[in-house]
A and B are shown apart, each in its own frame.
Chain A
Amino acid sequence: MVAEKIANANKEALQRILNARPVLVRAGKAGDEIPGMTRKTILHSGPPVSWERMSGPQKGAVIGGLIYERLASNEEEARALAASGEIIFDSCHHHNTVGPMAGIVTYSMPVWVVENKTYGNFAYCTFNEGLGKVLRMGAFSDDVIKRLDWMENTLGPLIKEALEIKGEIDLKAMIAQVLQMGDEGHNRNRAGTSLLIRELAPAIIRTKFSDEEKVEVLNFLNGNDHTFLNLSMPACKCTMDPAGGIKYSTLVYIMSRNGTDFGIKVSGLGDRWFTAPAEIVKGLYFPGFTEEDANPDIGDSCITETAGIGGFAMACAIPIVQFVGGEARDAIDYSRQMYEITEGENNVYKIPVLGFRGTATGIDIQKVIETGIRPIINTGIAHKKPGVGQVGAGLVRPPMKCFEDALEAFVEELEAEGELSEEINNY
């Protein structure tokens, strides 16, 4: 019976998610660490997209990336180079990488390297630049490039050395802890950032860098509550990758957006993307901005929701409604609603306010279609024009079409293999 095969495959996929043990193993340079990187490769968030179809903030971040890599000296040159066909654009996910918002990763950027110790697979993510006018939000002014240079020349090497002194950091244990401290691992990372600094600070002090540089690095990490986002994301990425490619499984192992399209991948359907136009985020805007300024949903950061934290753990982070909109009750309701569409509950990530119930884990496309409930994602909002940056934060759901198309493909594939009976039971 196909239903039994699907049930067993979904159990296996969930088990792989629960078995995962993401550990921060080192820091390095994108060009040295990420498989398939070249000096002219630019990785971006979301499903694959051409330069022509890229959203404003993603184009802005590409322009900034090319200027930062000294492949172009100004916006005009960068645009011409991006359109020339000389640059290899590819999805971060095709390189075991995740990038928040525009998700631009270039050769010289420093990256965190996270290993799933259970299955031996790796995931990579750049360092977080802070809020506001930053590359990942599509900004590329001189101060943005200057900050990226400092991250490459000081922050990255210093953290690399600090981690060599400190040794590996268990991110699964840390994420479990931050959920008890008011974070949800996507838009609220204050506790995670604090815990990370507690782990790293003694090693930072022992590096060979100058006192001035050490203070600068500690202040930078401390001054940005989203420092930990760029660790929760690769932790979730290397948690989810082994759940892909399981024959008969209807669980989602990637959700991602590039500001133009939203894409998902389903375990039993291998590497195929199912995409639909990304939606506008409903949320709260910074002073002077409105929904008119917003770019559609963007970034790989919803890998956190895919793994069962972020919006799925909003009940852990009730104050987040002041950042993304809504009332305290909504945060609890969102987390509770997600149990309707998931295979199971997390064995380590727990929600105190729900009696320490494990977070809803393992999105099942069958359940999404059956209930009409789409996954909840809390996220940042970038300005639709290149060069502006972040304008707010809010809540969004993936387009239902991604799940509908995936279900149709799933049935078609099993049908072609002779796995399904001819009888169609409408109910």
Chain B
Amino acid sequence: MLAKVNELFNKELKVINMGLEYFYNDLKEQKVKVIHVDWKPAAGGDKKLSSLLSRLK
């Protein structure tokens, strides 16, 4: 497993960042190819509201 990770980091990285934009900005500064996906958990992670929504699915 670790070998595979090392193999990955020895190649040119192409990253899709989801959620926190901070990681995207950090990678961009390091000249890593990265795109950002503006993602948030459903209902902002609120358990009660998520549960209500899921009952209608």
Across the interface, which residues of A come within 8 angstroms of B44, CB to CB? 372
Query: In the bound complex, what is the Cα–Cα distance between A250 and B53 (angstroms)?
Result: 11
- B30 in the interface, Cβ–Cβ < 8 Å? no
B49 x A427 contact (CB < 8 A): no
Query: In the bound complex, what is the Cα–Cα distance between A420 and B57 (angstroms)?
Result: 10
Query: In the bound complex, what is the Cα–Cα distance between A371 and B42 (angstroms)?
Result: 6
Query: In the bound complex, what is the Cα–Cα distance between A408 and B47 (angstroms)?
Result: 13
Query: In the bound complex, what is the Cα–Cα distance between A24 and B51 (angstroms)?
Result: 45
Query: In the bound complex, what is the Cα–Cα distance between A327 and B1 (angstroms)?
Result: 50
Query: In the bound complex, what is the Cα–Cα distance between A371 and B39 (angstroms)?
Result: 9
Q: Which residue of B lies closest to A1 (CB)?
A: B57
Contact residues, A24-63 vs B (CB, 8 A): none
CB distance from B35 to the nearest CB of A (A): 18
Query: In the bound complex, what is the Cα–Cα distance between A336 and B47 (angstroms)?
Result: 28
- A145 in the interface, Cβ–Cβ < 8 Å? no
Report the interface size for chain B: residues with CB under 8 A from the other chain. 14
Digit string of B31-52 for contact with A (CB within 8 Å is 1, else 0)?
Answer: 0000000001011100101111
Contact (A370, B54) CB under 8 Å given A426-B47, A427-B42:
no
Contact residues, A394-415 vs B (CB, 8 A): 404, 407-408, 410-411, 414-415
Which of B40, B43, B49, B54 sits near A424, CB closer than 8 Å? B54
Number of chain A interface residues as a range: 20 to 34
Query: In the bound complex, what is the Cα–Cα distance between A2 and B44 (angstroms)?
Result: 24
Query: In the bound complex, what is the Cα–Cα distance between A2 and B43 (angstroms)?
Result: 20
- B14 in the interface, Cβ–Cβ < 8 Å? no
CB distance from A296 to the nearest CB of B (A): 24
- B56 in the interface, Cβ–Cβ < 8 Å? yes
Q: Which residue of A lies closest to B45 (CB)?
A: A372
Contact (A411, B50) CB under 8 Å given A370-B42, A427-B42:
no
Across the interface, which residues of B come within 8 angstroms of A250, CB to CB? 56
Which of B43, B47, B52 sits near A411, CB closer than 8 Å? B52
Across the interface, which residues of A come within 8 angstroms of B56, CB to CB? 2-3, 6, 250, 366, 410-411, 414, 420
Binding site for B on A (CB under 8 A): 2-3, 6, 250, 366, 369-372, 404, 407-408, 410-411, 414-415, 420-421, 424-427
* Closest A-B pairs by Cβ, 7 of them: A425-B54, A372-B44, A370-B42, A411-B52, A424-B51, A420-B55, A369-B43
Binding site for A on B (CB under 8 A): 40, 42-44, 47, 49-57
